[in-house]
Structure 1
């Protein structure tokens, strides 16, 4: 089975402080994972490492067959990784159209500086249609709602046929309807024959879809536990994680969390 991510005894020190410690994590192809933890758990640091912005202080990291410290990484690795986050939205030019934003994904650039081929244009239109963005394809990015922007960024990420698609708290700032539309779009992506491995980062259990079969629980920079999602989202497990009594309820294979 092809390994997408392989972290062995990984620790990270920044400014004299241990941010991550003893992380062991293996993700295989066709597994879709959730990285779940409270604010400050170390999720962002872990993502930065997966994208080769950070290198481990200790341990070994292998992402998409690239071994950190042995293979040339950075640009080549990131071309195989699609990244969607609310922070990424701020980097694009406000006057660019949604269509131009998506097309830029073919070149992994912020802005469109090269002339796209007709094949690229057709692919961008197909992705915009698939993610229900076609009605506003010609609108300026700055005029789009938060939810519309996120769907455009997902389409952009898919332009390069990534092997790994990382969604870093993509529903931040979305209302209920926009959140559910985005989650529906993710469910559709997993049905594609060319679907990448998905890594969904959140601190809201209600966002965890049935397509995410595995979950890693992160606490204070360490792996609290990992495994099948149904095993991780139990009353006992999450009560221990949060150090208070909580209860999970299930409806339509979606979880909600409340404090007892």
Structure 2
């Protein structure tokens, strides 16, 4: 199993702050990773490096077989799908959902004078079907709910058949129903044999879709723990990552985290049992 990307002792230093501190991380083909950590942990900076939009201050990075710093990054970026609020903000509100997805073929965010083939239209239709948004095809992007937008962004990121798909907090800002709709779509994607390598950033274990295989835990730019999801994601590792005593439960493949009871509250909990 070859590596989709490899980071070796990667650091990112900004004036007055070490954003990433000697991070080593290897993600292999067929794996689905979630990156967890509090605000300021370095998650977004890590995603920028993997998407070939930021270079580290030190360390070595190989993405899809190419060494960052000695490769045409514009060609490399075409092999990486990336969803974020920054992309959503740049899609014209008057653009149709179909065109918002299909225009990824030309790496543009609003249809202009591009000429699309049947293969482009068929691919866009396929992606809408897989994400459950076929009924939205002729709706304009500006009329969509937040949950609908998130699924359109994922369909757009998959349009070019990337080898690596990066999901930056895809469930942020969604209500419960929209989050569960998105989780269902990501669960289907994670089980697809044709899906690219998946890496998703989140703050919440409740947002980890069934089918994800590995986890990386970050705090203050450093790796707290990493490895297979079932053995690495524990109450102890979450407590170390978020700086608070946390209990973790799992039901039907989905996780729930809660602050551990202590003091008088813990005594009352024991009595209730």
**TM-score of the two chains, using structure 2 as the length reference:** 0.92
Paired position in structure 1 for 2:264: none
SS in 1 for 2:19: strand
Q: Deviations over 1:127-168 (max 9, x none)?
A: 112211111110111001111111111111111000011110
The within-5 A match list for 1:205-224 is 205-224=205-224
**TM-score of the two chains, using structure 1 as the length reference:** 0.96
Shift of 1:229: 0.9
SS in 2 for 1:244: coil
Q: Distance in 1 between matches of 2:14 and 2:116?
A: 40
* Cα pair 1:86 1:172 within 8 Å, conserved: no
Paired position in structure 1 for 2:171: 171
Shift of 1:87: 3.1
Q: Deviations over 1:190-226 (max 9, x none)?
A: 2333210000100100111231110000100011110
SS in 2 for 1:60: strand
The within-5 A match list for 1:1-260 is 1-73=1-73, 75-113=74-112, 114-260=114-260
Q: Deviations over 1:105-125 (max 9, x none)?
A: 112211123111011111111
Q: Any gaps of 5 or more consecutive residues in structure 2?
A: 261-273
SS in 2 for 1:106: helix
* Cα pair 1:217 1:232 within 8 Å, conserved: no
Change (3 A) 1:188 1:52: same
* Cα pair 1:165 1:198 within 8 Å, conserved: yes
* Cα pair 2:37 2:242 within 8 Å, conserved: no
SS in 1 for 2:106: coil
Higher helix share: 2
Shift of 1:16: 4.4
SS in 2 for 1:70: coil
Q: Distance in 1 between matches of 2:61 and 2:44?
A: 16
Q: Distance in 1 between matches of 2:250 and 2:118?
A: 46
SS in 2 for 1:88: helix
Task: Give the aligned CA root-mean-square deviation in angstroms.
Answer: 1.2
Equivalent residues, number: 259
Q: Deviations over 1:58-96 (max 9, x none)?
A: 1100111120122222x1111111111233210101100
* Cα pair 2:190 2:212 within 8 Å, conserved: no
Range 103-112 or range 199-208, more displaced: 103-112
Q: Distance in 1 between matches of 2:242 and 2:47?
A: 22
SS in 2 for 1:190: helix
Shift of 1:15: 2.5
* Cα pair 1:232 1:238 within 8 Å, conserved: no
* Cα pair 2:51 2:82 within 8 Å, conserved: no
Q: Any gaps of 5 or more consecutive residues in structure 1?
A: none
Change (3 A) 1:148 1:95: same
Q: Distance in 2 between matches of 1:227 and 1:9?
A: 17
